[in-house]
A = this chain, B = another copy of it.
Amino acid sequence: MPASLTEHMLGDIIAENQELALHNHQHFNESGCFAVNLSSAPGAGKTSLLEKSLPFLSKESSCAVIEGDMIGELDAERLRKHGVEVFQINTGKACHLDAQMVARLLHIKNMRNVDFLFIENVGNLVCPARFPLGEHKRVVLLSVSEGDDKPLKYPAILQHADVVLLTKCDLLPYVDFDLPLAIDRIHKLNPGATCIAVSAKNGRGIEDWLHWLREEEIKVLARIHH
C-alpha cells in the first residue's frame, strides 16, 4: 500500500474491494463451497502445507485451489500433481490478490462442485490483511525461521486471522524461536485465533489442521443451510 496514496483514494479502493468480497462470499455460500484464504510471508510454506493436506482431504471431498502469484505457475504446477483443479491468478505488479480478481474468476468458473476452496495469496505479510476476498476463514502462516518477533512487527494480518499455523517446526532445534512466546504474542493481538504448530516435512500438527478445517466447514455449511 503506497504511503503517498491519500486516505480518500485508499478509502475508495478498500470500499470497492469490500463490496466485491461480499459478492464473492455470496457466491461461495450459494455454491456450498467452504473458502479459505491463506496468507504469509514469501516462503513460509503455503504450497507445502497444501501439498501435505490435499491428499487427505481429496479422499472424501472435492478440493480446488486459487493460486495467487505475481508471475508464473510454479506453485500451481506443484499442486496439480495432486489431482486437484488449480486456477492461476497472476497479479503482475500487485502485491496481493483482491476481490475483483477472484470475482472475475468466479464469473468463468462457479464453485458448485467444490467442497474446499483454498485461495493461496501472494507472499506478503502486510497488504493481504486489508483485502478480504470473500472467504469464510482466514489462515496466516508464520514460519519458525522468521523469528518469534513477527507478531509484534506485523500485527494487522494476525488480528484478522482465524487460525495461525506456525510452520517449519522441524527447524525448531536449529533456530532461536520461542514457540510458547510466539503463541502468547499472537493471542495478545487476537485472543480467538487457533494456533497450531505444524511441519509439512515431518507431519507434526497436520492432523490438527485437517481437523480444524473439517470442523469449520461443517459449521459454515450448517449456517448456510439454515
Question: With the chains together, A168 CA to B168 CA distance in Å?
Answer: 14
Among the stretches A25-33, A146-154, A213-221, the one at the interface with B is A146-154
As a 0/1 sequence over residues 126 to 155 of chain A, the CB contacts with chain B under 8 angstroms (1 = contact) are 110011000000000001011101101111
A4–B155 touching, CB < 8 Å = no
Cβ-defined partner of A70 (8 Å) among B9, B124, B126: B126
Q: What are the residues of chain B within 8 A of A75 when measuring CB–CB?
A: 153
Q: What are the residues of chain B within 8 A of A1 when measuring CB–CB?
A: 1-2, 93-95
Cβ-defined partner of A174 (8 Å) among B44, B146, B171: B171
A41 at the interface (CB under 8 A from B): yes
B43–A100 touching, CB < 8 Å = no
Kindly name the residue among A9, A93, A155 whose own CB sees the greatest number of chain B CB atoms within 10 A.
Answer: A93
**How many copies of this chain does one complex carry?**
2
Question: With the chains together, A155 CA to B69 CA distance in Å?
Answer: 11
Q: What are the residues of chain B within 8 A of A5 when measuring CB–CB?
A: 5, 13
Q: What are the residues of chain B within 8 A of A203 when measuring CB–CB?
A: none
Question: With the chains together, A126 CA to B123 CA distance in Å?
Answer: 9
Question: With the chains together, A201 CA to B201 CA distance in Å?
Answer: 23
Given the known A-B contacts A41-B42, A42-B41, A70-B154, are A100 and B147 also in contact in the complex, defined by CB atoms under 8 Å? no
A154–B42 touching, CB < 8 Å = yes
As a 0/1 sequence over residues 86 to 113 of chain A, the CB contacts with chain B under 8 angstroms (1 = contact) are 0000011111101011000000000000
Q: What are the residues of chain B within 8 A of A143 when measuring CB–CB?
A: 43, 145
Question: With the chains together, A156 CA to B92 CA distance in Å?
Answer: 10
A3 at the interface (CB under 8 A from B): yes
For A177, give the chain B residue with the smallest CB separation.
B43
Question: With the chains together, A125 CA to B90 CA distance in Å?
Answer: 16
Given the known A-B contacts A3-B92, A143-B43, are A74 and B149 also in contact in the complex, defined by CB atoms under 8 Å? yes
Q: Which of A148-203 contact B (CB under 8 A)?
A: 149-150, 152-156, 168, 170-171, 174-175
Starting from the known contacts A3-B92, A5-B13, 9 additional A-B residue pairs (CB-CB under 8 Å) come to A2-B131, A4-B13, A4-B16, A5-B5, A42-B125, A42-B153, A43-B150, A71-B152, A75-B153
In the assembled complex, 7 residue pairs joining A and B whose CB atoms fall closer than 8 Å, in A order, are A2-B98, A2-B127, A3-B101, A43-B145, A71-B155, A72-B152, A95-B95
